[in-house]
Amino acid sequence: KQEVTQIPAALSVPEGENLVLNCSFTDSAIYNLQWFRQDPGKGLTSLLLIQSSQREQTSGRLNASLDKSSGRSTLYIAASQPGDSATYLCAVRPRGGSNYKLTFGKGTLLTVNP
Amino acid sequence: EPEVTQTPSHQVTQMGQEVILRCVPISNHLYFYWYRQILGQKVEFLVSFYNNEISEKSEIFDDQFSVERPDGSNFTLKIRSTKLEDSAMYFCASSAADTPSNTEAFFGQGTRLTVV
């Protein structure tokens, strides 16, 4: 059974710092991996999608990498801003079954202090 | 930008009552999902729906739950007899009919269900 773990559970950084969020998954048989942002009490906003054949994806100040064989992904946020404060969720789409469901980690709560 | 919309944003119901959560997926998407997030826990998959039938469901999705696409735009989740442990944020999501590798799921803002 696929398990997704995110470390650290919480992270507090000063504004302007570059930071890395980590995600690991137990089964490398995945189709893709998605990073989401969740603001308190709100929905999930898709940030980046990395297909299993890709190594990284970039969007603005965000860069996500994927090492499928070792079951790891990282989300790099450059020049962090207070508006980046949120919970960041990692989710994988496992092979098998309907092939379309996502398995989520518990998230990393990021606080960027002005 | 197209988005998934959910109503209501918050629903309070008495234990044993039926509730219906409503979603309008992105218009050209063909795959629809319900997930839930109990406070402080992971987002959990409940059910996926394609071509007017359930394509996969989790062990959480027992016979108290049902889904329906009553018309061309709405997608609903019904809980027949709510329990206290059904209290959670329920998310609807949709995705286009791409290959599994490039399928990207888009989520709504959620309905917070409180069972009292």
pLDDT tens across A36-57, in order? 999 988 899 999 999 999 999 9
Strands (E), chain A: 4-7, 10-14, 19-25, 30-38, 44-51, 56-59, 62-67, 72-77, 86-94, 103-104, 108-113
Q: pLDDT 10s per residue in chain B (116 long)?
A: 779 999 999 999 999 999 999 999 999 899 999 999 999 999 999 999 998 999 999 999 999 999 999 887 899 999 999 999 999 999 999 999 777 788 899 999 999 999 99
- B42 contacts A43? CB cut-off 8 A: no
Cβ contacts (< 8 Å) between A97 and chain B: which residues?
56
Contacts of B71 (CB under 8 A, 6+ apart): none
| Helix, strand, coil percent content, chain A, rounded in steps of 5 | 5, 60, 40
pLDDT at B70: 87
pLDDT at A97: 66
With 80 as the cut, is the pLDDT of residue A100 above it?
Answer: no
Between A and B, how many residue pairs show a Cβ–Cβ distance under 8 A?
73
Q: What is the mean pLDDT of residues A20-26?
A: 97
pLDDT at B44: 96
